[in-house]
Amino acid sequence: MNSCKKPLAQNGFTLIELLLYTVIIGSLLLGVVSFYGLAAAARVKNQSVNEVNLQGAAAIDIISQTLRSATAVTTPATAASGSTLTMTVPTASLSPTTFTLNGTTLQVSESTGAAVALTNDKVRVVAFSAKNLTRSGGHANVQVSLTLARVNAGNREEFNYQQTFTTSAELQW
Amino acid sequence: MLKAWLHIKSKTRGFSSVEVLLASTLFGFFATALIGAVIYGRAATQDSGDRTAAIMLADEGVQAARNIRNGAYGSLVNGTYGLTQTGNLWAFSGNSDTIGIYNRQITIADKASNQKQVTSTVNWSQGDDTKTVSVVSVLSNWIATIKSWANGILAGSGAVSGTANAVKVATSGNYAFTVLSATTSNFVVTDMSNPAAPSIVRTISVTGTPSNIAVAGNYAYVTTNNGSGEVVVVNIATPASAAVAATYNAAGTAGALGITISGNYAYITRAFSLTDNEFLVLNVTNPLSITQSGAMSSLASMNEVYVAGNYAYVAVSSLTAPMAIINISTPASPTLISSFGLSVLANALSVGGYGKYVYLAASYTLYILDITNPATPTLVKQVIGASTINDIDEDGDKSNVFLGTASTAGEFQVVDVSSPTTAYAVRTIDVPGTASAIGGVAYNAAFDAVAAASASDTQEIMVFTRN
């Protein structure tokens, strides 16, 4: 027994060593946790960007496809611009087709049917405008601009994303 | 054991500087990798968002160009532009336009006749990188009037000094090679790249009086009536400095009348002679040293020859058998396999063909013959020309046959053979003057135009085009 006591007493951790180890482990843990937080924030940001981009691209695609196959643009009038786009389309049961801004949601309505939302509640439409650039001779071209932002009630950085999509479509009727 | 380990440990307590270095380096690597992943991940996300918007802007560029085209095709002038809206209309302006972080350029270039290629390029910078997306589209002048041989015109002409009649013509690239019925200044090179103003770039003399011409590669082969040099080879590698390169003397003294080049062989037809061969197969592998491969005799003058596969179809001055069909599968021994007669008595002056049809010009009539069975052609249709048909040529898959006639009121004719059974003369052109009979015609695929050789003294060289 005696022979064991002596070496043990000489080989324990000093207070300084304990403090040092605690600080090292603490800072490592802090690093790992903050990195995890960073990664989580990046993931959320990614989702926000994708949400805005995919919905923007889909909405613009639908609008330009409808425009290209439309026979005439009734609203806005030639040389005017507005947040409601109405056009006459070849299929009578779908005509007129209207894209309009309702609050912060982009909606489409076909003929007398109920309006259907093109954007969901995760994004809000900051701005929507259509400009009628019809040329004399009836060559109609409409420039459409749509600004979408991720809904961000808590004003958090990872939800902060806004993008403007602008394109034009020539009526090919 | 434990005691011993602790003992040693206590002796070597602390880290060496190498260990510290190693540990911090490793930590540095991991930290860099992890932080890099986060930074690049963010950049990629940002890029994908910007790219979506950029593609839409590029697409807008093409749509705007389409709108401008719809206003007036003439507004699409080759160059690089930006877009603007002038008076609420799309217009080109400057050489690029800026939308937020994006810079857009529209480049317009020729694609084909009545077609422009529009490239809409959007650039933006992200950090030190410049990102680019491009959208390419082809816009046509769909409203353009399609030119037709039905309204064909004499687009331009060139005069050769003197009164010699131009007899035959061949084309290659920008040039037409015309031979005249004269003993000097009888080979003329014309640049027909501007069909409205063909310009003579070279005139040389070949020995004898030329009767026909064929072009292959860098050489033109002129047949003449010279009994001691029936074929003259002219080097036309540089058309403006064409020069006689060689002369071939066939056995006998009968003048040569027609020539066709196919592969390594030239097929020559000659005037009737009791002693000489009228049909020759010459090896032209080396144009400067032509050798005879085979020959065949006939009982009448052979005027022109057309080759399809293993058979040669020869227009003959024979009232009863105006077309001879010769098997040429063995160049050393061309063999007559049949003589084709028509329902009327007529000499044939010219022959051509495309695909499974042979076009034979005999007297006033163009005969369209089906040669599905080469030895026994069947008559598909006959089209009456304005007068004796001196020469014919065809434009292949565009389905027209061009006639040069002896008429004074319809020297040039176009026959539409797109439907051989209902072929008809779609256009007859009366060229100025009454002594302007056309002796030779040659189609030029480069300009979709026809060069003609005329007896006129003021416009020996003519160029006909669609209109």
pLDDT by 10s per residue, chain B, length 467:
444 444 444 455 567 888 889 988 998 998 899 888 888 888 888 888 889 899 999 999 999 999 999 888 888 999 999 999 988 899 999 999 999 999 999 999 998 888 999 999 999 998 888 999 999 999 998 877 778 999 999 999 999 988 999 999 999 999 999 999 999 999 999 999 899 999 999 999 999 999 999 999 999 999 999 999 999 999 999 999 999 999 999 999 999 999 999 999 999 999 999 999 999 999 999 999 999 999 999 999 999 999 999 999 999 999 999 999 999 999 999 999 999 988 888 899 999 999 999 999 999 999 999 999 998 999 999 999 999 999 999 998 889 999 999 999 999 999 999 999 999 999 999 998 888 899 999 999 888 899 999 999 999 999 999 98
Same domain, B131 and B265: no
**Non-local CB neighbours of B30 within 8 Å, separated by 6+ positions:** none
HSE toward the beta carbon, residue B346, CA cutoff 13 A: 21
Same domain, B134 and B201: no
> With a CB-CB cutoff of 8 Å, which residues 142-181 of chain B face chain A?
none
Chain B residues with beta carbon closer than 8 angstroms to that of A139: 67, 70-71
Select from B97, B119, B143 the last residue of a domain: B143
Same domain, B359 and B289: yes
pLDDT higher at A6 or B97: B97
Q: Is residue B128 part of a domain?
A: yes
Same domain, B238 and B157: yes
Suggest the residue from B27, B52, B73, B135 to mutate for an interface test with chain A (most A CBs closer than 10 A): B52
- Is residue A168 within 8 A of residue A156, CB to CB? The reply is no
**Non-local CB neighbours of B454 within 8 Å, separated by 6+ positions:** B165, B166, B411, B431, B436, B437, B438, B439, B460, B461, B462
Average pLDDT over residues A19-24: 92
Tell me if chain A has a CB within 8 Å of the CB of B59: yes
Indicate if the pLDDT at residue A17 is higher than 80.
Answer: yes
Look at residue A8 in the predicted model and tell me its pLDDT: 52
- Is residue A48 within 8 A of residue A63, CB to CB? The reply is no
ipTM value for the complex: 0.83
CB-based contact B41 A56, cutoff 8 Å = no
Q: How far apart are CA B68 and CA B83, in angstroms?
A: 10
Same domain, B336 and B385: yes
Q: Is residue B54 part of a domain?
A: yes
Angle at B236 between CA B244 and CA B195, to 5 degrees: 125
Same domain, B379 and B233: yes
Gap from A13 CA to chain B (nearest CA, Å): 11
Indicate if the pLDDT at residue A49 is higher than 50.
Answer: yes
Select from B143, B169, B201 the last residue of a domain: B143
Same domain, B383 and B275: yes
Q: Lay out the sheet containing B231-235: strands in order across.
A: B210-216, B219-224, B231-235, B243-248
Q: Is residue B305 part of a domain?
A: yes
Same domain, B170 and B235: yes
In B127-252, which ranges are E strands?
Answer: 129-140, 153-158, 166-172, 175-180, 187-191, 199-204, 210-216, 219-224, 231-235, 243-248
Same domain, B133 and B156: no
Gap from B65 CA to chain A (nearest CA, Å): 10
Tell me if chain A has a CB within 8 Å of the CB of B36: no
Average pLDDT over residues A53-76: 92
Q: How far apart are CA A18 and CA B437, in angstroms?
A: 117
Question: Can you give the pTM of this predicted structure?
Answer: 0.63
Q: Is residue B9 part of a domain?
A: no
Tokens read off for A7: 């070496």
Domain assignment of residue B406, given as a range: 149-465
Task: Find, in chain B, the residue whose alpha carbon is nearest to that of A13.
Answer: B10
Select from B124, B143, B162 the last residue of a domain: B143
At B207, which CATH number?
2.130.10.10
Look at residue A20 in the predicted model and tell me its pLDDT: 92
Confidence label for A64 from pLDDT (cuts 50, 70 and 90): very high
Tell me if chain B has a CB within 8 Å of the CB of A79: yes
The total of structural domains in chain B comes to: 2
Q: Is residue B101 part of a domain?
A: yes
CB-based contact A141 B90, cutoff 8 Å = yes
Same domain, B360 and B312: yes
Same domain, B170 and B93: no
Q: Is residue B201 part of a domain?
A: yes
Q: Is residue B43 part of a domain?
A: no
Q: How far apart are CA B391 and CA B152, in angstroms?
A: 18
Same domain, B209 and B306: yes
Look at residue A1 in the predicted model and tell me its pLDDT: 46
Q: Is residue B4 part of a domain?
A: no
Suggest the residue from A132, A166, A172 to mutate for an interface test with chain B (most B CBs closer than 10 A): A166
Minimal CA–CA distance to B395: which of B412, B419, B423, B416?
B416
